[in-house]
Amino acid sequence: MRESDAFATVGCNGPTAWATSLPDGADLDLRQLRNHTENALQCISTLVATDPGLNATAAGRRIAEEVERRIVLATRASNALFGMTRMPGSLEARVRSLSESVAELLADPDQVIRVEVTCTGACPEALHDVVLRAVQELVGNAVKHGFYARLVGRVRVSLASGACGTKLVVTDDGWGLGRRPGHGQGISFVRALIAPFGGTLTLRSKDGVAAEVVLPSATPSLHRPPR
């Protein structure tokens, strides 16, 4: 992977070029934070890539390349979630980037995890963050548990929105629920995450695991004033 895949600038102190003009103070503060974060990560990557000790041996160069690869992947995942170094794109682009980045970041170096993503319909904007965080957790869960000690695997992420609500399904062809009966920390986190939205999480195990999150089209619990 190239640093340019994750960072918009070259060098530790170069200015960031943003395509969108952000006029008000809050957006300018956010842009400044992104700029500082990007520059800091760029510096780390540059220091690792140019360290003479690491580059003196083949083993050192492999370590430097692996550190850079993981910086790039972590930045991509963070950008998809909340735009750590650049403005977030469409929800479909964010789901795709997040799914692929998390799968590659958590996979062992010798594993090959294929990721397929499909998005249909218009997911309500109020649900974007919860969908993305659920994607992050469920894809990560699939890689960590479903493909433990396996060299290859496949994860499918399907997001569909319509009049009846939004459905997110993450499936894998891994070990099944035998190693994760549905009460682990990740699954508990997703259930807590979707509960304020009236969401449900269902797990099915057949030739792997399918985790299905259903979020209703309305989210009354978020809009009702406290009593």
Tens of pLDDT along 173-215?
998 876 555 567 888 999 999 999 999 999 998 889 999 999 9
Q: Note whether 161 and 191 are same-domain residues.
A: yes
Q: Which residues neighbour 222 within 8 Å (Cβ) at sequence distance 6 or greater?
A: 126, 196, 197
CA 3/CA 7 separation, integer angstroms: 6
Domain C-terminal end among 46, 68, 88:
88
113 and 224 housed in the same domain: yes
Identify the top-confidence range among 10-14, 70-74, 179-183.
Answer: 70-74
Structure token pair of residue 66: 């692996």
Domain boundary among 88, 118, 136: 88
Q: How many domains does the chain have?
A: 2
Predicted model pTM: 0.76
Distance of alpha carbon 37 from alpha carbon 182, whole angstroms? 36
* Residue with the larger pLDDT of the pair 64 and 213: 213
Whether residue 126 sits in one domain with residue 52: no
CA dihedral 3, 87, 39, 25 (to 10 degrees): 170
Q: Are residues 14 and 55 in the same domain?
A: yes
Place 17 in a pLDDT band, splitting at 50, 70 and 90. Answer: very low
Could you tell me whether strands 200-205 and 152-162 are parallel, antiparallel, or unpaired per DSSP bridges?
unpaired
**d(Cα 122, Cα 161) in Å, to the nearest integer?**
6
Short-list 92, 179, 101, 187, CA closest to 137? 187
- The answer to whether residues 186 and 103 belong to one domain is yes
Whole-number average pLDDT of the chain? 81
| Structural domain range at position 27 | 1-88
Asked if 109 and 204 sit in the same domain, the reply is yes
Question: How confident is the model at residue 107, as a pLDDT?
Answer: 92
Domain boundary among 27, 62, 88: 88
CA gap 222, 209 in Å, rounded: 30
Q: pLDDT (tens digit, 9 = 90+) per residue, 130-152?
A: 999 999 999 999 998 889 888 99
Max Cα separation, the chain? 66
One domain, residues 122 and 211: yes
For the stretch 76-90, pLDDT in tens is 998 998 888 888 899
Residues 82 and 96 in one domain: no
User: Do 162 and 81 share a structural domain?
Assistant: no
Phi, psi torsion values for 209, nearest 5 degrees: -135, 140
Look at 69-73, 164-168, 179-183 and tell me which has the smallest mean pLDDT: 179-183
Residues 80 and 97 in one domain: no
**Euclidean distance between CA atoms 167 and 184, whole angstroms:** 22
- CA pair distance 214, 205, nearest whole angstrom: 17
DSSP 77: H
**CATH number of the domain to which 189 belongs:** 3.30.565.10
Same-domain check for residues 78 and 134:
no
Among 101, 67, 66, 106, residue whose Cα is nearest residue 81: 101
